[in-house]
Amino acid sequence: MTADIVPESLAEAGPIPTDESPITEARRVGPLFQPTHPLALAPVSAPPHSVDGFVREFLRELNTGQGVALSRSSVNDQYLALARTVRHYLMARWLETLKHNRSSKAKTVGYLSAEYLLGRQLGNALLATDLNDVAEKALAACGLDLPTLRAQEVEPGLGNGGLGRLAACFIDSLATMSVPCIGYGIRYEYGIFRQTFVDGRQVEQPDTWLALGGPWEFPHPEAAVEVEFGGHTETYDDNGTERTRWVASWNVLGIPYNYMVPGYQNGRVNTLRLWSAQATKAFDLAIFNSGDYAEAVRAQTFAENITKVLYPEDSTPQGKELRLQQQYFFVACSLRDFLEQNLEEDFDLHHLPERIVFQLNDTHPVIAVPELMRILVDEKKLDWDEAWAITSKCFAYTCHTLLPEALETWSVELLGRLLPRHLEIIYRINDEFLEQVREAYPEDELRARRMSIIADYPDRSVRMAFLATVAGTKVNGVAELHSQLLATKVLPDFSEFFPDKFTNVTNGVTPRRFIKLANPFLSGLITDTIGVGWVTDLDRLAELEPYAEDEDFRRAFRKAKEQNKTRLYSLLRTRDGIDLPDGHLLDVMVKRLHEYKRQTLKLLHIVTLYDQIISGRVDPTTILPRSVVFGAKAAPGYRMAKDTIALINAVAATVNADKRVGGRLSIAFPANYNVTLAEKLIPAADLSEQISLAGMEASGTGNMKFAMNGALTIGTDDGANVEIRRFVGDDNFFLFGMLEPEVAELQASGYQPSKLYEEDADLKAAIDLIASGAFSGGDRGTFEPVVSNLLYQDRFMALADYRSYLEAQEKVEKAYVNKEAWTKSAILNVARSGYFSSDRSMRDYLGRIWGASPDH
């Protein structure tokens, strides 16, 4: 088939809405519209799963959707048409899932997350529908190339890092496990910034991910929800009962944008619903007629600002008014959406906990707790106690940090101004909670103060983690060590008071995206060896274990690794103009740039190797050829992190250009690390750097992705590294550094980094080399802040772990030389990483936290 399909005439358009059109609630569950036409009674069906069928659909989309003939179409036209074609194949499943949900009334997981770092959608949709081969052939028949079209997609970067990516993995697993779930979040117009380097320094560019069209989203402006802000509260007499109402002073509309979340080849498609803010009256006639056009437009811009941009902070909340607006905006929309669209009209709210559990992904959505109380008490007119009995069964809270500065608080002043009714509700929740505390510990007023949701010092503020802990049925950390430290160090009073609330669910990652999609070479080998079942049952990777002893399998495994390297190097060449040599150990450190993650420790290792070579202490031909790849974004306002990026780039430029190194060391820092790049980098890596200070990384999830793709980890006893090491075995993991209790001890005894510098000649030489200006054209000032920070502060104790890190790297060098033994270890990493599937995380949440189950 080659001829373009003649566009069909446009279906008759419905009435065009005017400014006066009311917001309809047409989608409301209730008496359903009864179609009479026989065609409308039949369920929508997917197009045929054949090359011809696909070609026909694709050309129809190109012609009637994009309005172009194939011969005149751009790559973007082709990509959009392809995306919409694949969408068609998912549509029947989506509508079927929605219909099933309505009738089954199974308990739903409402995943509330301010971030979803989704990654590209097309590849995943092709995988979910098993259409990859069909699409490839169909496009080839049209003279097009699938990888080229896939590369056209701009990933939705609606998250900062691990927390947002975790949310994306979780909703993928829930769909694959047929669990009813709605992901709720924010449709940022600009996601995480695009990182570029100018003279080695990070420069942020806006992420215009929607500029060329968003084929994966379904906007429903007619189903908009109103969200109020500001104003005051007042009491009134309601037939003898005193009630409170909130008289807000301004409002905005939340427009839902629906995204499909396809399960893996299981016929289920869940929904991700992201909210976009819009002014209540897009065109304010009154202001316009008064001649103040500028004012009318200003009001609109003000409202739309709420969902304009993702805060590019990771691990530190920005205490910005707009951020609180974002948080309340999306949870208010989401709660209303669930209550009004997913429950029957006559639903008895006392049974709400049987139908929904809202998972609070960190503290960002915690304002949902007082919002549900407000709805139940003020709007639905339930008693306070009844409302609390319901609310305190509808939420569970996940904490993702151990850094004290990352625990979110809101000033009472701001909360009272923006959400006066919510502040009152929080006060009452706190009063009743503290009453219980005082009852349990009558003589301990200090404890009551420590546990108060409202802090008095340094400013009056609301501690969102405390509120979440009081309200949640469960509180979980994200790895064993983290959950333990959460209970003993971050929230010790609470874990004593609510011993049954605290639990652990170790994070996981989806094997669909991070093995099957990202690593077709390894996936093919696994499937050829143990069959297809592993994709949805990752424990089956254990069946690979005996093959570690099989020479042919090891050869095939190495070949897959080589293919991944070739693919990566060719990408880096075209994407970044970076050339990496073949035959090196590929050593990768990719994650947000943060002092606690210790990119500077990795850098000290590189500078030490370099210094040993140029000072003649080591013959370069005796060191293991190694390529180090960094990927990291720094929060725009985080000086030290940005200086570290500049230093990495400066070291890379110097080392790569120095003939004395003889090409034995190569350093690359491709800009703009994101999910798309991760999918190419991780499968190619030999060595995974997970070197945070023990007790600082809540879990890490990159560490899991590397292990399951056959990289060995060099890592501290931190976060999920602890569990990874336990599973893969000490012999297949390079452990170094202080243990968490040792860190605490050193901290308590007065840590002096400058002493370590004086005592270790290699360390001193490396730091001196940086300080000398060797990497900054002789200018000693450029990296002075990094150097002083290391010598006089070093909050995350890079110097204390330096020697141990170097020794572990020496073990890596020795181990890598023995190809067969290394490959064996790499295979065992894959075979023993089944536990780190996010499907297992979801089973843990389902069984121990949510009380929900698959609904087939």
- List of residues contacting ligand NBG (CB under 6 A): 161-163, 166, 314-315, 362, 400-401, 406, 478, 507, 697-701, 719
Work out how close the CB of 635 gets to ligand NBG at its nearest, in angstroms, rounded to a whole number. Answer: 11
Closest to ligand NBG by CB, 594 or 642: 594
Which two structure tokens, joined as six digits, stand for 304?
Answer: 């739309």
- HEC letters along 309-367: ECCCCCCCCCCCHHHHHHHHHHHHHHHHHHHHHCCCCCCCHHHHHHHEEEEEECCCCCC
Of 272, 734, 703, the residue nearest 514 (C-alpha) = 703
Work out how close the CB of 720 gets to ligand NBG at its nearest, in angstroms, rounded to a whole number. Answer: 7
Work out how close the CB of 402 gets to ligand NBG at its nearest, in angstroms, rounded to a whole number. Answer: 8
**Whether the bond into 353 is cis, omega within 30 of 0:** no
Q: Is 705 a catalytic residue?
A: yes
Closest to ligand NBG by CB, 578 or 696: 696
Q: Is 701 a catalytic residue?
A: yes
Closest to ligand NBG by CB, 330 or 553: 330
Work out how close the CB of 592 gets to ligand NBG at its nearest, in angstroms, rounded to a whole number. Answer: 8
Out of 592, 602, 824, 832, which one is annotated catalytic?
592
Question: Residue 443: CB partners within 8 Å, gap ≥ 6?
Answer: none
User: Residue 780 has what DSSP assignment?
Assistant: S
What H or E segment, with its residue span, contains residue 254? strand 250-262
- What is the rounded distance in angstroms from the CA atom of residue 501 to the CA atom of residue 474? 4
Closest to ligand NBG by CB, 166 or 568: 166
Q: What is the bridge-based pairing of β-strands 241-247 and 217-219?
A: unpaired
- Token pair 């570690």 is at which residue? 548
Rg, the chain, Cα only: 28
Closest to ligand NBG by CB, 382 or 481: 481
CA angle 352, 376, 368 (to 5 degrees): 80
Strand partners, 626: 585, 665
Out of 107, 323, 516, 591, which one is annotated catalytic?
591
Closest to ligand NBG by CB, 162 or 370: 162
Work out how close the CB of 722 gets to ligand NBG at its nearest, in angstroms, rounded to a whole number. Answer: 12
Work out how close the CB of 359 gets to ligand NBG at its nearest, in angstroms, rounded to a whole number. Answer: 12
Which whole-number Å values give the CA distances from 121 to 84, 90, 165, 349, in the listed order?
11, 13, 14, 37
Q: In the bound complex, which residue of the shown chain has the CB atom lying closest to ligand NBG? A: 162
Closest to ligand NBG by CB, 362 or 762: 362
- What is the rounded distance in angstroms from the CA atom of residue 792 to the CA atom of residue 772? 17
Closest to ligand NBG by CB, 314 or 686: 314
| Burial class of residue 480 in the structure, from the number of CB atoms within 10 Å of its CB (0-12 exposed, 13-18 middle, 19+ buried) | middle
Work out how close the CB of 161 gets to ligand NBG at its nearest, in angstroms, rounded to a whole number. Answer: 6
Closest to ligand NBG by CB, 173 or 701: 701
Of 166, 197, 59, the residue nearest 633 (C-alpha) = 197
| Burial class of residue 231 in the structure, from the number of CB atoms within 10 Å of its CB (0-12 exposed, 13-18 middle, 19+ buried) | middle
Q: Is 400 a catalytic residue?
A: yes
Strand partners, 181: 109
Work out how close the CB of 115 gets to ligand NBG at its nearest, in angstroms, rounded to a whole number. Answer: 8
Secondary structure (3-state) at 556: helix
Which two structure tokens, joined as six digits, stand for 346?
Answer: 């006559």
Work out how close the CB of 835 gets to ligand NBG at its nearest, in angstroms, rounded to a whole number. Answer: 15
- What is the rounded distance in angstroms from the CA atom of residue 784 to the CA atom of residue 782? 6
What is the secondary structure of 234-301 as a DSSP string? EEEEETTEEEEEEE-SEEEEEEEEEEEEE-SSSS-EEEEEEEEEEESSSS-HHHHHTT-HHHHHHHHH
Out of 512, 597, 642, 840, which one is annotated catalytic?
597
Out of 87, 400, 561, 642, which one is annotated catalytic?
400
Of 741, 701, 735, 717, the residue nearest 812 (C-alpha) = 735
Closest to ligand NBG by CB, 609 or 698: 698
| Burial class of residue 830 in the structure, from the number of CB atoms within 10 Å of its CB (0-12 exposed, 13-18 middle, 19+ buried) | buried
Closest to ligand NBG by CB, 486 or 771: 486
Contact 109, 852 (CB under 8 A): yes
Which two structure tokens, joined as six digits, stand for 315?
Answer: 């691990």
Out of 600, 701, 713, 716, which one is annotated catalytic?
701
Of 689, 702, 485, 705, the residue nearest 606 (C-alpha) = 689
List the end-to-end C-alpha distance of the chain, in Å, as a whole number. 39
CA dihedral 737→743→746→750, nearest 10 degrees, is 120
**How many other CB atoms are there within 10 angstroms of residue 424's CB atom?**
17
Single-letter residue type at 149: L
Q: Is 102 a catalytic residue?
A: no
Work out how close the CB of 799 gets to ligand NBG at its nearest, in angstroms, rounded to a whole number. Answer: 23
Work out how close the CB of 315 gets to ligand NBG at its nearest, in angstroms, rounded to a whole number. Answer: 5
Where would I find the beta strands (DSSP E) of 564-696? 585-590, 626-631, 665-668, 687-690
Query: Which are the catalytic amino acids?
Result: 400, 591-592, 597, 701, 705
